[in-house]
């Protein structure tokens, strides 16, 4: 761990760095060191693979060589991710990190398939192996080297919370298991069980393919736009709701472009306040969230609410009770009453769980409208709008 801390300290230097700049340096560091290790390990395993005739050792060398390519992609992606925004990319190039993860995953899957093919071929056409103590010692040394590299990548991934670095850390971890299987194959050859080599090569391939598929799916999910965590949404709601004049917060949306996070939210405000005061409040909320939560851009929409109607509190309590008992409804907002010459009008927005089937929407509206009319007969018109939640994190 001393070596790891020394390398990190030398990389970051004594300058005060932003989180984005710190992440870039650590990402390029991990990619560069991983590339160097992978090149050396692959060359060593190729040499000793030819010497022993082990298909599993050659497969592990191919795996390490693919790590070289993926590590270079990681280092290059962190370099590109900090490229300044331009006319075509107004949110910067932060998602290059995700693209790097996808390329890494595809490389792993391709290599895994080739290793599986070689392993099956060795099972069908077994060949004698030469497993000398020197070869086995070299394999043990490569395992130790990969163990340090996995711990190093894990440390950096934790420091900068990078999905790609976590993927690479797990990739190195699986490499340790793969090389351990190679060691088992060499041991088997020394004791008269050469078939273990083919099975070990096949097992290595499954590790590689599993890793590629796993992180490929995670990267695609990130590119498609994952739901924010419950903690992220609650922090924003609490920070906005704590400001004097904010009567409610809803419709929090978070869009992530690497380190650039764009947040939009709605706040409920007193409809009787002057427009300029409401505008100033919205700007105050934007500035506070950007500063306190390190968000790149915040956009606040204001919803005017008039609570002076004598029926308002009772109707609000009825809606809260209805929402708490209905499994498909998460929340409600924008409860408005308006007194027209023809009678009292009500409008409200219901927030449904994202997996609520559209076929049930009419029943949800009808049930709530009946309950509201029974409670307040003088209502002339009731407008219930349904929306799917953007804050329904998993």
Positions in the chain whose pLDDT score sits under 70:
1-2, 10-21, 55-56, 69-70, 73-97, 100, 122, 126-129, 194, 225-227, 258-259, 294-295, 390-394
C-alpha–C-alpha distance, residues 172 and 168, integer Å? 6
- Residue 138 confidence (pLDDT): 84
- Residue 364 confidence (pLDDT): 92
What's the pLDDT tens digit per position in 157-209?
888 777 778 777 877 887 787 788 778 777 877 777 767 777 777 777 787 78
Containing H/E element for 330? strand 329-340
- Residue 394 confidence (pLDDT): 45
- Residue 276 confidence (pLDDT): 93
For the chain, the structural domain boundaries read 2-224, 228-305, 306-394
Residue range 2-224 in CATH 1.20.1510.10: yes
pTM as predicted: 0.56
Phi first, then psi: what are they for 266, rounded to 5°? -110, 140
What's the pLDDT tens digit per position in 219-278?
777 777 666 778 888 888 888 888 899 988 888 888 877 667 788 899 999 988 999 999
- Residue 114 confidence (pLDDT): 72
C-alpha–C-alpha distance, residues 270 and 204, integer Å? 64
Residue range 228-305 in CATH 3.10.310.30: no
Pair 162, 23: CB distance under 8 Å: yes
- Residue 18 confidence (pLDDT): 59
- Residue range 306-394 forms a domain whose CATH class is alpha beta
Pair 8, 26: CB distance under 8 Å: yes
Asked, colleague to colleague, whether 2-224 and 228-305 share their fold, the answer is no
- Residue 283 confidence (pLDDT): 92
């Amino acid at each position: 761990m001393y070596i790891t801390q020394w390398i990190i300290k030398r990389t970051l230097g004594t300058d005060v760095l932003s989180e984005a700049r710190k992440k870039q340096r650590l990402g390029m560091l991990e990619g560069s060191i991983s590339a160097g290790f992978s090149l050396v390990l692959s060359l060593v395993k190729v040499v000793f693979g030819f010497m022993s005739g082990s298909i599993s050792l050659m497969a592990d060398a191919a795996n390490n060589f693919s790590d070289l390519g993926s590590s270079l992609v990681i280092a290059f992606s962190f370099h590109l991710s900090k490229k300044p925004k331009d006319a075509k990319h107004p949110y910067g190039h932060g998602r290059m990190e995700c693209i790097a993860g996808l390329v890494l995953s595809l490389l792993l899957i391709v290599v895994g398939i080739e290793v599986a093919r070689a392993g099956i071929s060795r099972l069908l056409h077994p060949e004698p192996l030469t497993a000398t103590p020197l070869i086995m010692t070299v394999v043990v040394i490569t395992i130790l080297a990969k163990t340090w590299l996995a711990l190093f990548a894990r440390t950096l991934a934790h420091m900068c919370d990078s999905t790609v670095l976590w993927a690479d850390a797990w990739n190195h971890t699986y490499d340790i298991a793969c090389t351990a299987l190679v060691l088992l194959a060499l041991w088997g050859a020394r004791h008269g069980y050469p078939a273990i080599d083919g099975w070990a090569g096949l097992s290595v391939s499954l590790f590689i393919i599993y890793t590629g598929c796993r992180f490929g799916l995670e990267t695609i999910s990130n590119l498609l736009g994952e739901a924010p965590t419950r903690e992220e949404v609650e922090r924003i709601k609490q920070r906005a709701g704590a400001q004097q004049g904010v009567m409610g917060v809803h419709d929090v949306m978070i869009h992530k472009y690497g380190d650039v996070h764009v947040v939009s939210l709605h706040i409920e405000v007193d409809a009787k306040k002057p427009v300029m005061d409401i505008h100033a409040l919205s700007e105050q909320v934007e500035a506070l969230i950007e500063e306190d939560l390190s968000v790149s851009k915040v956009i606040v929409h204001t919803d005017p609410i008039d609570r002076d109607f004598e029926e308002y509190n009772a109707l609000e309590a009825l809606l809260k009770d209805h929402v708490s008992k209905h499994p498909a409804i998460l929340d409600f907002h924008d409860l408005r009453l308006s007194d027209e010459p023809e009678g009292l009008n009500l409008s409200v927005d219901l927030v449904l769980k994202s997996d609520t089937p559209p076929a049930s929407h009419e029943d949800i509206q009808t049930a709530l409208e009946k309950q509201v009319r029974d409670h307040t007969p003088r209502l002339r018109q009731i407008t219930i709008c349904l929306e799917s939640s953007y804050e329904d994190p998993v």
